[in-house]
Structure 1
Amino acid sequence: MTNEPEAKRQKVEMKIGTHSGTFHADEALAVFMLKLLPQYKDATVIRSRTPDILEACDIIVDVQGQYDGVKHFDHHQRGFTETFSPFFKTKLSSAGLIYKHFGKDILSNQLNIPADHAHIPLLYDKIYAEMVEAIDGNDNGESAYPDDIKPAYSTKSITLPGMVGALNPAWNEEFSDAILDTKFTKASELMGGVFVDLVKYYGKSWLPAREIVKEAIAKASEYDSDGRIVVFDQFVAWKDHLFTIEKELGISGQTYYVLYSDGKGWRIQAVPVSPDSFASRKALPEAWRGVRDQALSDLTGIDGGVFVHASGFIGGNQTREGALLMAKKALTL
């Protein structure tokens, strides 16, 4: 009778199994993600290559050559071709497998919103695309670039997989299972810390910005009948969202200029042709470029001129009204 509480306690203890020996970024992240879930929060991590020991665990990642989406989450077996969704081509590693099956619950817990909240699917895909897919591709030896493109310099030591790899003992350092287990915990915390910070950024900063951008695009016709000018009354990271929302609304390419305050005055920025491009959909007029202050005001006929960049991608005015007048006039030139 006195042993019953102890027996019950032992029965509910959870165990996460993964392989022993040297470790990689994918299982380090996979284990950390599992421990973000209530059911695995206090789980013991068992690192082994003995099948019976691993099979005694409640969930097994990156070892045993099986994937069933319930207990086994390995990707090394012959014929494995699982991807995150039909929209992604990168084969999953153990990190991607765990995220695919538990990611929505992880996001729900980290952001304190219901797992069926309307924002979860958007964040679920975004976090995969921004971090987890790169871990999958790296572990599976899938380059982010075509084979005929050679990097100009090495980034191995500054990537997360590179940092995790460097935590393994060097060939001439002391090497034991206990040392490897300790270093694996450090690697898992490194990967997990980056992951959690990313989730919080996208959930608490990136997502609210999206709502602001969406509202501003909806009001664009107030400033231009064709909706080519978007005005933000507070600065927000808009570029990534603008392209996505335009596509969702079927108005890709509509916005030419974005206006926002820089804290002192107002900026008018020409929208690039793509998020990573230096070319603008409609740069500010060539005659304005490189002109500043009163000379700019005299040239445009608009008070409060500050500058227009030599490339025409951005300009400034002292007031919101002045920046808006510059944008409207630029549309006609």
Structure 2
Amino acid sequence: MAESASKRLKTSGPLIGTHSGHFHADEALAVHMLRLLPAYADSGLVRTRDPAVLETCHTVVDVGGEYDAERRRFDHHQRGFAVNFPGRPTKLSSAGLVFLHYGRAIVAQRLGQAEDAPDVDLLYRRLYENFVEALDAHDNGISVYDPKAVAAAGLEKNYSEGGFGLGAIVGRLNPRWNDPAPADRAEAQAAEDARFLKASSRIGEEFDAELENYAGAWLPARSIVQDAFTKRSQHDEQGRILVLEGQSVPWKDHLYALEDGTPSVLYVLYPENPQPGAKWRIQCVPESKDSFVSRKPLPEAWRGFRDEELDGISSIPGCVFVHAAGFIGGNKTFEGAKEMATKALV
């Protein structure tokens, strides 16, 4: 039996199908990503588990028990499914499948470049590894760490991460078990569908923001960090001090890539803003992107002090502060910040 008009959340363009009932982050993102492309911009959406209705859909995600890219069928629940993103170990969900086949086009559209352009390939892989893969793992029940290895090491969490994951953001938008539901089936489905659209929009906002950050800020920073990396021996013979002239840019990912597994830089210096006379910061390079452990923290004797008191302790004029954890500090001038870095190297 055909679906009622109330279940077709949009009525023009190719029809997308996904399952009804409790929704998840992967199909919510899959639908959003499809609709970023011109071919799907005005697509209809039907949420059902009826095979006959799904057969009428142009594209089906997260339901139907079939993965066939030529027929635009993107489910991952069927027995024997074991598709991964190139070079990554995580089994794909519907979000990963859609991104695998349409992610390049989405990135190319944002950059205004051909799909085979190097920058497109770079961001395609970065977006998967830093956004989509987490949804694939969450939907497939894959832990961040091997549970057996964690148990064997006797590790326990210091605190709860709460409901801040992407899956939780979407999960909260499902109806609660004790929410009153309309007695009329069509009205109940329409209410559920409205929640799904909100979920798709919500996680879509996060995806769009991630893409925009990579395209608008992260990628343009590459050449700036590359130039500073090339010149680092001007500030320290061993290349342990990197100076970003003009203003700070996102540097961690690019620095780790440039070092290529051989850590060398310990401190990064940059002005607080691009205005003349701006104060300067000295930041310690973390052991890894998400680590709070610095390769070489600023001296313990400086930590937690400010201004003239810090000047006296460090014997460096113009000090502004050093954080109590020793990972960042500041000085009124570049010369002062560089002297802080040079003394901290000892």
TM-score using structure 2 length? 0.81
Matched to 2:173, the amino acid is L
**Aligned partners of 1:104 and 1:257: how far apart in 2?**
35
TM-score using structure 1 length? 0.84
Task: Work out which of the residue numbers 159, 165, 185 in structure 1 matches 2:165.
Answer: 159
3-state SS, counterpart of residue 226 of structure 2:
helix
Matched with 2:200 is 188
1:241 Cα deviation after fit:
2.7
Map 1:65-144 → 2, pairs under 5 A = 65-70=65-70, 71-86=72-87, 88-144=88-144
1:96 Cα deviation after fit:
0.6
Is the 2:308–2:319 Cα contact (8 Å) retained in structure 1?
Answer: yes
**Aligned partners of 2:166 and 2:288: how far apart in 1?**
28
Matched with 1:209 is 221
Between the aligned residues of both structures, percent identity stands at 51
1:289 Cα deviation after fit:
5.2
Is the 2:111–2:120 Cα contact (8 Å) retained in structure 1?
Answer: no
**Aligned partners of 1:268 and 1:253: how far apart in 2?**
18
1:209 Cα deviation after fit:
2.3
Task: Work out which of the residue numbers 163, 170, 174 in structure 1 matches 2:181.
Answer: 174
Map 1:265-280 → 2, pairs under 5 A = 265-280=279-294
Is the 1:228–1:255 Cα contact (8 Å) retained in structure 2?
Answer: yes
Call closer, same or farther: CA 1:46–1:320 in 2, change over 3 Å. same
1:302 Cα deviation after fit:
4.6
1:324 aligns with 2:335: no
Per-residue Cα deviation, 1:59-109 (whole angstroms, up to 9, x for no partner): 1111111112222110000011111123x2221110110001100101122
More divergent stretch after superposition (226-235 vs 146-155): 146-155
1:45 Cα deviation after fit:
1.1
Call closer, same or farther: CA 1:128–1:330 in 2, change over 3 Å. same
Q: Give unmatched runs, 5+ long, in structure 2.
A: 1-11, 183-187
3-state SS, counterpart of residue 230 of structure 1:
strand
Matched with 1:220 is 232
More divergent stretch after superposition (168-177 vs 303-312): 303-312
Matched with 1:53 is 53
Matched to 1:199, the amino acid is L
Task: Work out which of the residue numbers 245, 252, 259 in structure 2 matches 1:239.
Answer: 252
3-state SS, counterpart of residue 45 of structure 2:
strand
Call closer, same or farther: CA 1:304–1:156 in 2, change over 3 Å. closer
**Aligned partners of 1:126 and 1:39: how far apart in 2?**
24
**Aligned partners of 1:280 and 1:168: how far apart in 2?**
41
Per-residue Cα deviation, 1:7-39 (whole angstroms, up to 9, x for no partner): xxxxx9411121222321111111111111111
1:235 Cα deviation after fit:
1.7
Call closer, same or farther: CA 1:105–1:302 in 2, change over 3 Å. same
Matched with 1:257 is 267
1:123 Cα deviation after fit:
1.1
1:296 Cα deviation after fit:
5.2
Call closer, same or farther: CA 1:171–1:245 in 2, change over 3 Å. same
**Aligned partners of 2:43 and 2:313: how far apart in 1?**
69
3-state SS, counterpart of residue 321 of structure 1:
helix
More divergent stretch after superposition (289-298 vs 253-262): 289-298
Call closer, same or farther: CA 1:309–1:26 in 2, change over 3 Å. closer
1:215 Cα deviation after fit:
1.7
Q: Give unmatched runs, 5+ long, in structure 1.
A: 1-11
1:115 Cα deviation after fit:
2.1
Matched to 1:262, the amino acid is E
**RMSD across aligned positions (CA):** 2.6
Matched to 1:238, the amino acid is W
